[in-house]
């Protein structure tokens, strides 16, 4: 099998708040990938003494370990355990009930000889290619379904809709959020390749409309994950001078993990 991983900060002067890993246990029978996109809540403080990279390193590290060490435990349960472990790491020093406690979007995939399990929480993407070349995106589109009036104000989104019923969910300190994720299991022989992207890389499709999800996966396969991130950066630089009113940052942390389970 072939795997590839690229993760690049949006601003070279700031820490990358994405986390990515591929786990290939020595059994050679399966593996896992983990992609997190740390959320930077507005304002500072937030009741936590730690940084978003501190949080994603612990949550991502726990998920990498648990997805390969407990291959028979459902991903929802593993996310719940990893969140509890991470919360334990700072419950004594920080107010984890604060709405701006560190949090992250989550993509998990785990493969065995029989199946491929997946979990997606909030706005990162998992693309699955079948042997006939069809590409299916697995997305948690709650954020897209929020009313435009709510999205006009980031502050409103963060204080009234984050991790609330009818809003959208990210992985913060409450282990029960795992049950909100989009999850499923596919037969292994129905999956040829996987690609997980944070929204900073998915912009190639979602913001710039350079192609669809199948085009995006084909680009990663043929030119490499680095090429997708480089193309996004070029589009962002061209866009920044042209459209001042775009929502969000010019550049965002961008992560791509590609896992080719069987050759074409
Ligand atoms: Zn903390």
Question: If you measure from the C-alpha of residue 21 to the centroid of ligand 1, how many angstroms do you get, rounded to a whole number?
Answer: 23
Question: If you measure from the C-alpha of residue 83 to the centroid of ligand 1, how many angstroms do you get, rounded to a whole number?
Answer: 13
Question: If you measure from the C-alpha of residue 53 to the centroid of ligand 1, how many angstroms do you get, rounded to a whole number?
Answer: 11
- The pLDDT assigned to 7 comes to 97
pLDDT in tens, 95-140: 888 878 889 999 999 999 999 999 999 889 999 999 999 999 999 8
The Cα 199–Cα 228 span in angstroms is 12
Beta-carbon count within 10 A of 245 CB: 4
Q: Which residues contact 247 (CB under 8 A, 6 or more apart)?
A: 151
The Cα 42–Cα 9 span in angstroms is 19
Asked if the model's pLDDT at residue 22 lies above 60, the reply is: yes
Question: If you measure from the C-alpha of residue 50 to the centroid of ligand 1, how many angstroms do you get, rounded to a whole number?
Answer: 4
Question: If you measure from the C-alpha of residue 70 to the centroid of ligand 1, how many angstroms do you get, rounded to a whole number?
Answer: 27
Question: If you measure from the C-alpha of residue 77 to the centroid of ligand 1, how many angstroms do you get, rounded to a whole number?
Answer: 23
Question: If you measure from the C-alpha of residue 68 to the centroid of ligand 1, how many angstroms do you get, rounded to a whole number?
Answer: 26
- The pLDDT assigned to 45 comes to 60
Question: If you measure from the C-alpha of residue 111 to the centroid of ligand 1, how many angstroms do you get, rounded to a whole number?
Answer: 32
Cβ atoms of 138 and 131 closer than 8 Å: no
For residue 22 the two structure tokens come to 């591929």
pLDDT in tens, 71-83: 999 999 999 999 9
Question: If you measure from the C-alpha of residue 82 to the centroid of ligand 1, how many angstroms do you get, rounded to a whole number?
Answer: 15
Question: If you measure from the C-alpha of residue 105 to the centroid of ligand 1, how many angstroms do you get, rounded to a whole number?
Answer: 18
Question: If you measure from the C-alpha of residue 92 to the centroid of ligand 1, how many angstroms do you get, rounded to a whole number?
Answer: 9
pLDDT band at 175 (very low <50, low <70, confident <90, very high): confident
pLDDT in tens, 196-231: 999 999 999 999 999 999 999 999 999 999 999 999
- For the chain, the 3-state helix, strand and coil shares in percent, each to the nearest 5, are 35, 25, 40
H-assigned helices in the chain:
52-69, 75-88, 142-145, 148-151, 154-156, 199-206, 213-223, 225-240
Question: If you measure from the C-alpha of residue 140 to the centroid of ligand 1, how many angstroms do you get, rounded to a whole number?
Answer: 27
Higher per-residue confidence, 44 vs 241: 241
The label of the residue with tokens 């501190």 reads 54
Question: If you measure from the C-alpha of residue 101 to the centroid of ligand 1, how many angstroms do you get, rounded to a whole number?
Answer: 8
Question: If you measure from the C-alpha of residue 173 to the centroid of ligand 1, how many angstroms do you get, rounded to a whole number?
Answer: 10
| Cβ burial 196-218 (10 Å sphere, 16+ → b, else e) | bbbbbbbbbbbbeeeeebbebbe
Question: If you measure from the C-alpha of residue 235 to the centroid of ligand 1, how many angstroms do you get, rounded to a whole number?
Answer: 36
Backbone angles phi, psi at 135, to 5 degrees: -115, 125
CA distances from 84 to 27, 79, 80, 104, 176 (A): 28, 9, 6, 14, 9
Rg of the chain over CA atoms, in angstroms? Answer: 18
């Amino acid at each position: 099998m072939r795997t590839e991983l690229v993760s690049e900060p949006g601003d070279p002067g700031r820490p990358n708040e994405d986390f990515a890993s591929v786990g290939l246990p020595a059994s050679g029978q399966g593996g896992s990938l983990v992609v997190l996109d740390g959320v930077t809540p507005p304002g500072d403080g937030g009741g936590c003494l730690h940084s978003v990279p501190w949080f994603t390193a612990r949550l991502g590290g726990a998920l990498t370990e648990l997805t390969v060490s407990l291959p028979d435990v459902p991903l929802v349960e593993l996310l719940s355990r990893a969140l509890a472990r991470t919360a334990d790491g700072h419950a004594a020093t920080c107010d984890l009930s604060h709405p701006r406690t560190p949090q992250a979007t989550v993509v998990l995939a785990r493969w065995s000889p029989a199946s491929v399990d997946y979990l997606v929480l909030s706005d990162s993407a998992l693309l699955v290619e079948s042997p006939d070349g069809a590409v299916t995106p697995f997305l948690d589109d709650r954020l897209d379904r929020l009313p435009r009036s709510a999205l006009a104000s980031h502050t409103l989104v963060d204080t009234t809709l984050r991790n609330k019923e009818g809003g959208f969910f990210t992985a913060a300190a409450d282990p029960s959020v795992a049950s909100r994720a989009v999850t499923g299991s596919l037969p292994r022989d129905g999956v040829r390749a996987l690609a997980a992207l944070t929204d900073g890389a998915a912009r190639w499709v979602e913001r710039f409309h350079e192609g669809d999800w199948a085009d995006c996966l084909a680009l990663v396969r043929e030119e490499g994950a680095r090429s997708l991130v480089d193309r996004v950066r070029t589009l962002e630089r061209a866009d920044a001078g042209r459209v001042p009113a775009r929502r969000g940052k010019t550049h965002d942390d961008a992560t791509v993990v590609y896992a080719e389970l069987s050759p074409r």
